[in-house]
A and B are shown apart, each in its own frame.
Chain A
Amino acid sequence: MRQELHGMPDRPSAAARVFVILMFAAFVAPFVPLVVASFSFRWHWPDLLPTRWLWNVRDETPFPVGWDYLLSPVSRLGSAFANTVAIGLVVAALALMTGVPAAYVLARYDFRAKGVAEFFLLLPIIVPQVSIGIGMLLLFMRVGLFRTYPGIVLAHLVPALPYAIRILTAMFQNLDPGYEEVARTLGADRLARLRHVTLPLIAAGLATAGLFAFLISTNIFLLTFLISGGRIATLPTMLFSHIGSGGPLDATTAGLVLIVSVPGLLFLFIADRITGSGLSLATAPAGSRAKEDR
């Protein structure tokens, strides 16, 4: 049924399958050494595999290392994970809530300040994050947002929102305004149109934009580091504090790197389940698909 909806053939060709497998391999390959490293105690070049594994040395180390450390309460991994996911979810929700109206206006109306608005939307992507971060830090210290969750969320929105708005704008541009016109002639007021026509037609785009905002948020180190003042830890700040302590990639850091990737994958999986349709970065929003059908 889902395949029918997309008008795709039932089976991919052999070439397409090989292509998909290669792509998959390219994405998965970097994770393999990470997994190995996260279980290794001694792994020096040019050895293909670690010479000593963690489970060989478990009783010899004075304190837990690797997964033992990460999964113990001492590491505070749990709270960093929870912080990351919670902040990411709030950022994604806020990015959608403010991004949808903004993108709608950008896509549907022509106004004089449009070029200016579009420029400011690009700005956070062009300007280095340090500049934004220091600027916000100075501002937040004065208004009481320094070292607070709202402060971090606001800071994350600066790079996340432009991405979300770009995706949403493209999606609205793809959506034929005719659907809303038909709905109007059928007696749907603004709210009903949004609920019964526009939102269902842009569901895939919404999920994509939300996913992007979430991913950007969960990957931010610098802004969190600056605004949190070391008080609120997320996975990236935790990871960087481990990398920052120098030395080769130890098992703990390797494990942490793996864990940092979890929220995004989790979110993608859940979002795909919920929209049930075509959440993927490659598919067009539903509205544009319908246009081709005509």
Chain B
Amino acid sequence: MSSITLVGITKSYDGPAVIADLDLHVDTGTVFGLLGPSGCGKTTTLKMIAGLLEPDAGDIRFDGASVLALPPEKRRIGMVFQQPLLFPHLNVEQNVGFGLRMQGMRPRDARPRVRDCLAMVQLERFAERFPHQLSGGQQQRVALARAVVTDPVVLLLDEPLSNLDSRLREQMRQLIRGVQERLKITTIFVSHDQEEASELSDRMAVMFDGRLAQSGRPYDLFMRPESTAVARFLGSTNLLEGHVRAPGLLDTPIGPIAVSCAHGVEAGRTVTVSVRWEHLAIRPVSAGEPPNSFCGIVRDVVFGPTRIRYTVEINDVEIIVVAPTDLEYPRNEPVVVEIPARHVRLLQEAHASATLPG
């Protein structure tokens, strides 16, 4: 219900800067997914937005107005921490009602709201339980209910689903999405799970060492990674190094590839390109191969419920191809892998922000 803007945020604990000159904007009522390796500064960022940590430099604005002078208790935020941190001396209902109680509401008046929120996380039956009588996943759900009961304008979720099994995770994802859409809370969501982040977020960003390496729609991040680091972190893609032989032609360890990117790059330079697993085509060896096709041998086959993942060895290089389930190629079968030129992405080595042609 309130946009979030971070401008030039810098933060260090005792040593070097943990967050360095961070800019970030989340539109009103949208979900922003924050991804990044462990220790890159995700929790630190959330805590600064919450007001629990003070940035060394920069400004934090809700709806354009600086909130730096406001203590956390005045910022109207809801936060779910990496650990559930339920108050052990209060039962579930009292935990969820805590924020309302702080607003001076009597427990009797708060009860309907509390019950609503508990129903939302499917824990109505557990109102009387104490935190230590709940499973880890149940505790996290109580923490979520506790964070939204006060109608915050900003919701900060620090890996709130990390303790859940996949079925509950799926349910909770829908639930968070539902809550978020109903209440239109501007949400920042930290996750280690890419699928979760991409499913939940309107926009997302990958963070390395306290900087946003790239941000955009989930589709853009996955399909158009700008740097090797982002492509490698998001995974599910083949990274190939090659020399530019001529505009639109790369020499790579698997052979020469025609690409539609890299036209502006001078010949002779070494570049890295990325081709997503599912963008490669695998087909039987036959006469009349299309361009950009390479012969290889299937080395590994992994079945998934909706697709098959092949590891194909081409010129001593292992390339991963994800293919539909309609055809199956056994191990050690010679196959042809086609790399569509338009799906080859040129990457930058460093994760700077300038965009390359392509």
CB within 8 Å of B: which residues of A? Answer: 4-5, 7, 176, 178-179, 181-189, 192, 196-197, 200-201, 286-287, 289-290, 293-294
Contacting A at CB under 8 A, from B127-172, are: 130-133, 136, 139, 146-147, 150
Q: Is the CB–CB distance between A185 and B147 below 8 Å?
A: yes
- B70-121 residues at the A interface, CB under 8 angstroms: 71-75, 77-79, 81, 83-89, 98-99, 101-103
Question: B71–A184 contact, CB under 8 A?
Answer: yes
Task: Specify which of B77, B87, B89, B132 is in contact with A7 (CB 8 Å cutoff).
Answer: B132
Q: Are B89 and A186 in contact (CB under 8 A)?
A: no
Q: Is the Cβ of B52 less than 8 Å from the Cβ of A286?
A: no
Distance of A4 from chain B, by nearest CB (Å):
8
Residues on B with C-beta less than 8 A from A181 are: 47, 50, 52, 72, 81, 85
Q: Are B88 and A178 in contact (CB-based, < 8 A)? A: no
Closest 8 CB pairs of A and B: A290-B88, A186-B99, A187-B102, A184-B72, A293-B132, A185-B79, A200-B89, A178-B85
> Which residues of chain A are within 8 angstroms of B146 by Cβ–Cβ distance?
182, 186
Q: For residue B102, which residues in chain A have a CB less than 8 angstroms away from its CB?
A: 183, 186-188, 192, 196
A176, B52: Cβ atoms closer than 8 Å:
no
8 contacts between A and B (CB under 8 A): A7-B132, A181-B81, A182-B85, A186-B78, A186-B102, A186-B146, A192-B102, A290-B86
Are A185 and B136 in touch, CB under 8 angstroms?
no
**CB atoms of B131 and A293 under 8 A apart:** yes
Chain A residue, CB-CB nearest to B72: A184
> Considering the chains assembled together, what is the distance between the CA atoms of A135 and B122 in angstroms?
66
Cβ of B88: which chain A residues have Cβ within 8 Å of it? 201, 286-287, 289-290, 293
Across the two chains, which residue of chain A brings its CB closest to B78?
A185
- 7 additional A-B pairs beyond A181-B85, A186-B78, A186-B150, beta carbons within 8 Å, are A178-B81, A182-B85, A183-B102, A185-B50, A187-B73, A287-B88, A290-B86
Q: Which residues of B contact A188 (CB under 8 A)?
A: 73, 98, 102
- Name the distance in Å between A1's Cβ and chain B's nearest Cβ: 10
Q: Are B73 and A189 in contact (CB under 8 A)?
A: yes
Min CB distance, B190 to chain A, in Å?
15
Task: Chain A residues near B130: list those with CB within 8 A.
Answer: 5
User: In whole angstroms, what is the CA distance A178 to B81 when docked?
Assistant: 8
Contact B52 A185 (CB under 8 A): yes
Contact B81 A294 (CB under 8 A): no
Residues of chain B with a CB closer than 8 A to A179's CB: 85, 87
Docked CA distance A249–B218 (Å)? 87
Q: Which of B50, B98, B132, B150 contacts A183 (CB 8 A)?
A: B98
Contacts of A4 in B (CB 8 A): 133
Shortest distance between the CB of B113 and any CB in chain A (Å): 14
**A294 to B132, alpha carbons, bound, how many Å?**
8
CA distance A43 to B201 in the complex (A): 87
In the assembled complex, the CB of B276 is this many whole angstroms from the nearest CB of chain A, namely: 38
Q: Please, how many angstroms separate the alpha-carbon atoms of A57 and B320 in the complex?
A: 104
| Option from B89, B99, B133 in Cβ contact (under 8 Å) with A187 | B99
Distance (Å) between the CB of B99 and the closest chain A CB?
4
CA distance A179 to B84 in the complex (A): 10
Cβ of B74: which chain A residues have Cβ within 8 Å of it? 187
| A294-B84 contact given A182-B79, A186-B98, A187-B73, CB 8 Å threshold | yes
Nearest-Cβ distance from residue B69 to partner chain A, whole angstroms: 15
